[in-house]
Protein backbone atom coordinates (compact mmCIF):
# COMPACT_ATOMS: atom_id res chain seq x y z
CA UNK A 1 0.00 0.00 0.00
CA UNK A 2 1.33 3.44 -0.99
CA UNK A 3 1.97 5.73 1.97
CA UNK A 4 0.75 9.30 1.45
CA UNK A 5 3.36 12.04 1.21
CA UNK A 6 2.40 13.72 4.47
CA UNK A 7 2.66 10.38 6.30
CA UNK A 8 6.09 9.80 4.77
CA UNK A 9 7.21 13.15 6.16
CA UNK A 10 5.63 12.44 9.54
CA UNK A 11 7.28 9.00 9.78
CA UNK A 12 10.64 10.49 8.74
CA UNK A 13 10.42 13.10 11.50
CA UNK A 14 9.31 10.53 14.09
CA UNK A 15 12.18 8.21 13.13
CA UNK A 16 14.76 10.97 13.62
CA UNK A 17 13.29 11.88 16.99
CA UNK A 18 12.81 8.37 18.36
CA UNK A 19 16.22 7.18 17.13
CA UNK A 20 17.86 9.96 19.14
CA UNK A 21 19.20 11.74 16.05
CA UNK A 22 17.15 14.76 17.15
CA UNK A 23 17.14 14.90 20.97
CA UNK A 24 14.77 17.02 23.08
CA UNK A 25 14.61 20.69 22.04
CA UNK A 26 16.45 20.11 18.75
CA UNK A 27 15.19 22.29 15.87
CA UNK A 28 12.89 20.63 13.34
CA UNK A 29 13.07 21.44 9.59
CA UNK A 30 10.70 24.16 8.42
CA UNK A 31 7.70 23.69 6.14
CA UNK A 32 9.71 25.10 3.25
CA UNK A 33 12.66 22.77 3.85
CA UNK A 34 10.43 19.70 4.11
CA UNK A 35 8.42 20.71 1.05
CA UNK A 36 11.63 20.97 -0.97
CA UNK A 37 13.17 17.75 0.41
CA UNK A 38 10.06 15.64 -0.29
CA UNK A 39 8.92 17.53 -3.41
CA UNK A 40 5.52 18.39 -1.94
CA UNK A 41 3.50 21.53 -1.30
CA UNK A 42 3.94 23.58 1.88
CA UNK A 43 0.40 22.56 2.85
CA UNK A 44 1.39 18.88 2.85
CA UNK A 45 4.48 19.57 4.96
CA UNK A 46 2.42 21.76 7.27
CA UNK A 47 -0.07 18.92 7.87
CA UNK A 48 2.70 16.55 8.99
CA UNK A 49 4.17 19.14 11.35
CA UNK A 50 0.78 20.15 12.72
CA UNK A 51 -0.23 16.56 13.55
CA UNK A 52 3.04 16.01 15.40
CA UNK A 53 2.45 19.25 17.29
CA UNK A 54 -1.09 18.18 18.24
CA UNK A 55 0.33 14.88 19.52
CA UNK A 56 2.89 16.70 21.67
CA UNK A 57 5.90 15.37 19.74
CA UNK A 58 7.10 18.79 18.56
CA UNK A 59 6.44 22.37 19.59
CA UNK A 60 5.57 24.93 16.91
CA UNK A 61 6.14 28.65 17.34
CA UNK A 62 4.66 31.38 15.18
CA UNK A 63 7.48 32.95 13.17
CA UNK A 64 10.17 30.81 14.81
CA UNK A 65 11.67 27.36 14.38
CA UNK A 66 9.78 24.28 15.61
CA UNK A 67 11.62 22.03 18.03
CA UNK A 68 11.41 18.53 19.54
CA UNK A 69 9.24 18.49 22.65
CA UNK A 70 10.20 16.96 25.97
CA UNK A 71 9.96 13.24 25.32
CA UNK A 72 7.06 12.42 27.61
CA UNK A 73 3.81 11.04 26.29
CA UNK A 74 1.29 13.86 26.14
CA UNK A 75 -2.50 14.02 26.05
CA UNK A 76 -4.79 16.96 25.54
CA UNK A 77 -6.48 18.56 28.54
CA UNK A 78 -9.27 19.77 26.27
CA UNK A 79 -10.32 16.54 24.56
CA UNK A 80 -11.72 13.22 25.76
CA UNK A 81 -9.72 10.76 23.70
CA UNK A 82 -9.08 7.05 23.52
CA UNK A 83 -5.62 6.39 24.96
CA UNK A 84 -5.06 3.59 22.42
CA UNK A 85 -5.57 6.07 19.58
CA UNK A 86 -3.14 8.55 21.14
CA UNK A 87 -0.45 5.88 21.45
CA UNK A 88 -0.92 4.57 17.91
CA UNK A 89 -0.82 8.12 16.51
CA UNK A 90 2.61 8.52 18.08
CA UNK A 91 3.69 5.51 16.02
CA UNK A 92 3.83 3.25 19.07
CA UNK A 93 2.14 0.03 20.11
CA UNK A 94 -0.74 -0.06 22.61
CA UNK A 95 -1.55 -3.05 24.81
CA UNK A 96 -4.10 -3.39 27.60
CA UNK A 97 -4.15 -5.78 30.55
CA UNK A 98 -7.40 -6.23 32.48
CA UNK A 99 -6.70 -6.66 36.20
CA UNK A 100 -10.31 -6.55 37.44
CA UNK A 101 -13.76 -6.59 35.84
CA UNK A 102 -16.52 -7.02 38.39
CA UNK A 103 -19.41 -5.56 40.37
CA UNK A 104 -18.82 -3.54 43.53
CA UNK A 105 -20.94 -1.69 46.06
CA UNK A 106 -20.60 2.08 45.65
CA UNK A 107 -19.19 3.79 48.74
CA UNK A 108 -19.90 7.46 49.41
CA UNK A 109 -17.08 8.71 47.18
CA UNK A 110 -18.00 6.54 44.20
CA UNK A 111 -21.71 7.20 44.67
CA UNK A 112 -21.23 10.96 44.77
CA UNK A 113 -19.05 10.96 41.65
CA UNK A 114 -21.23 8.53 39.70
CA UNK A 115 -24.52 10.14 40.71
CA UNK A 116 -26.01 7.07 42.41
CA UNK A 117 -27.02 6.27 45.99
CA UNK A 118 -24.44 4.79 48.40
CA UNK A 119 -24.82 1.01 48.51
CA UNK A 120 -25.81 0.79 44.82
CA UNK A 121 -24.20 -2.04 42.88
CA UNK A 122 -22.06 -0.61 40.05
CA UNK A 123 -19.68 -2.03 37.46
CA UNK A 124 -15.94 -1.74 38.09
CA UNK A 125 -12.86 -2.25 35.95
CA UNK A 126 -9.12 -1.89 36.56
CA UNK A 127 -6.97 -1.88 33.42
CA UNK A 128 -3.28 -1.24 32.72
CA UNK A 129 -2.42 0.51 29.45
CA UNK A 130 1.03 0.01 27.94
CA UNK A 131 2.93 2.08 25.37
CA UNK A 132 5.65 0.00 23.73
CA UNK A 133 5.59 -2.48 26.66
CA UNK A 134 5.98 0.33 29.24
CA UNK A 135 3.09 1.11 31.60
CA UNK A 136 1.58 4.49 30.75
CA UNK A 137 -1.73 4.47 32.62
CA UNK A 138 -3.62 2.65 35.36
CA UNK A 139 -7.32 3.07 34.64
CA UNK A 140 -9.85 2.41 37.39
CA UNK A 141 -13.41 2.98 36.20
CA UNK A 142 -16.84 2.80 37.82
CA UNK A 143 -19.78 2.54 35.41
CA UNK A 144 -23.50 3.12 35.85
CA UNK A 145 -25.15 -0.27 35.09
CA UNK A 146 -28.38 1.43 34.01
CA UNK A 147 -26.77 3.00 30.95
CA UNK A 148 -24.30 0.20 30.06
CA UNK A 149 -25.84 -3.08 31.27
CA UNK A 150 -23.48 -5.27 29.19
CA UNK A 151 -20.25 -3.55 30.30
CA UNK A 152 -18.89 -6.62 32.12
CA UNK A 153 -19.33 -8.80 29.02
CA UNK A 154 -16.78 -6.79 26.98
CA UNK A 155 -13.19 -7.73 26.16
CA UNK A 156 -11.27 -4.61 27.14
CA UNK A 157 -7.98 -6.03 25.96
CA UNK A 158 -9.33 -5.83 22.40
CA UNK A 159 -11.32 -2.60 22.73
CA UNK A 160 -10.77 0.08 25.36
CA UNK A 161 -13.51 0.84 27.85
CA UNK A 162 -13.53 4.46 26.67
CA UNK A 163 -14.04 3.40 23.06
CA UNK A 164 -16.86 1.02 23.99
CA UNK A 165 -18.70 3.57 26.14
CA UNK A 166 -18.28 6.34 23.56
CA UNK A 167 -19.75 4.15 20.82
CA UNK A 168 -22.63 2.98 22.96
CA UNK A 169 -23.34 6.32 24.67
CA UNK A 170 -22.17 9.45 22.83
CA UNK A 171 -20.77 11.75 25.51
CA UNK A 172 -22.50 15.08 26.01
CA UNK A 173 -20.66 16.35 29.09
CA UNK A 174 -17.40 15.67 30.92
CA UNK A 175 -15.42 16.92 33.90
CA UNK A 176 -11.64 16.69 34.43
CA UNK A 177 -9.72 17.12 37.67
CA UNK A 178 -5.91 16.89 37.57
CA UNK A 179 -3.61 16.42 40.56
CA UNK A 180 -0.18 15.17 41.52
CA UNK A 181 -0.12 12.16 43.85
CA UNK A 182 2.53 10.27 45.79
CA UNK A 183 2.16 6.54 44.98
CA UNK A 184 2.07 3.89 47.66
CA UNK A 185 4.02 0.65 47.28
CA UNK A 186 1.14 -1.12 45.49
CA UNK A 187 0.83 1.64 42.89
CA UNK A 188 4.62 1.73 42.43
CA UNK A 189 4.57 -1.97 41.62
CA UNK A 190 1.66 -1.69 39.18
CA UNK A 191 3.19 1.23 37.30
CA UNK A 192 6.73 -0.19 37.44
CA UNK A 193 8.16 2.97 39.00
CA UNK A 194 10.71 3.61 41.70
CA UNK A 195 9.94 5.00 45.13
CA UNK A 196 9.84 8.78 45.05
CA UNK A 197 8.47 9.01 41.50
CA UNK A 198 5.42 11.29 41.52
CA UNK A 199 2.29 10.41 39.56
CA UNK A 200 -0.17 12.47 37.57
CA UNK A 201 -3.80 11.58 38.25
CA UNK A 202 -6.77 12.60 36.13
CA UNK A 203 -10.22 12.08 37.64
CA UNK A 204 -12.85 12.11 34.92
CA UNK A 205 -16.64 12.05 35.09
CA UNK A 206 -18.78 11.68 31.96
CA UNK A 207 -22.46 12.03 31.12
CA UNK A 208 -24.64 11.18 28.15
CA UNK A 209 -27.88 13.18 27.77
CA UNK A 210 -27.73 14.11 31.46
CA UNK A 211 -27.39 10.48 32.60
CA UNK A 212 -24.20 9.69 34.49
CA UNK A 213 -22.03 7.21 32.55
CA UNK A 214 -18.74 6.69 34.35
CA UNK A 215 -16.32 7.87 37.01
CA UNK A 216 -12.71 7.10 36.06
CA UNK A 217 -9.44 7.50 37.96
CA UNK A 218 -6.52 7.58 35.50
CA UNK A 219 -3.05 7.45 37.07
CA UNK A 220 0.19 7.93 35.11
CA UNK A 221 3.90 7.82 35.98
CA UNK A 222 4.92 11.47 36.21
CA UNK A 223 8.21 10.85 34.43
CA UNK A 224 6.48 9.35 31.34
CA UNK A 225 3.36 11.44 30.88
CA UNK A 226 2.09 14.99 30.73
CA UNK A 227 -1.03 16.94 29.80
CA UNK A 228 -1.04 19.87 27.43
CA UNK A 229 -3.24 21.93 25.18
CA UNK A 230 -3.11 24.56 22.47
CA UNK A 231 -5.78 27.23 22.09
CA UNK A 232 -6.33 29.42 19.06
CA UNK A 233 -8.38 32.57 19.61
CA UNK A 234 -10.29 34.10 16.71
Which residues, at least 6 apart from 66, have a Cβ–Cβ distance to it below 8 Å? 27, 28, 30, 49, 53, 58, 59, 60
Which residues, at least 6 apart from 158, have a Cβ–Cβ distance to it below 8 Å? none
- Cα(21)–Cα(29) distance, integer angstroms: 13
Residue 78: predicted pLDDT: 45
Edge-to-edge order in the sheet of strand 121-131? 94-105, 121-131, 134-143, 211-221, 199-208, 173-181
In terms of phi and psi (left: phi > 0; alpha: psi -120 to 50; beta: otherwise), the region of 25 is left
Residue 97: predicted pLDDT: 97
Reduce the DSSP state of residue 172 to 3 states and report it.
coil
Q: Which residues of the chain have pLDDT under 70?
A: 1-3, 61-64, 70-80, 210, 226-234
Which residue segments constitute the domains of the chain, with CATH numbers given? Answer: 5-68 (1.10.10.10), 73-228 (3.40.1410.10)
Residue 193: predicted pLDDT: 92
Residue 73: predicted pLDDT: 52
Query: What is the model's pTM?
Result: 0.68
Residue 231: predicted pLDDT: 45
Short-list 175, 168, 147, 172, CA closest to 77: 175
Query: What is the percent of the chain with per-residue pLDDT over 90, rounded to a whole number?
Result: 49
- Over residues 179-203, the pLDDT tens digits come to 899 999 999 999 999 988 999 999 9
Q: Are 181 and 202 in contact (CB under 8 A)?
A: no
In terms of phi and psi (left: phi > 0; alpha: psi -120 to 50; beta: otherwise), the region of 2 is beta
Amino acid sequence: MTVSKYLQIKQHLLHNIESGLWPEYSPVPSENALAEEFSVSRMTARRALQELAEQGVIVRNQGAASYVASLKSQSSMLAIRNIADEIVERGHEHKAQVLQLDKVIADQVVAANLGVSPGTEVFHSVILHFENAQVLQLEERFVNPKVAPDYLAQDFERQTSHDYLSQKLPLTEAEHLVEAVVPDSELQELLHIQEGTACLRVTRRTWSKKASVSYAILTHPGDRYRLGSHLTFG
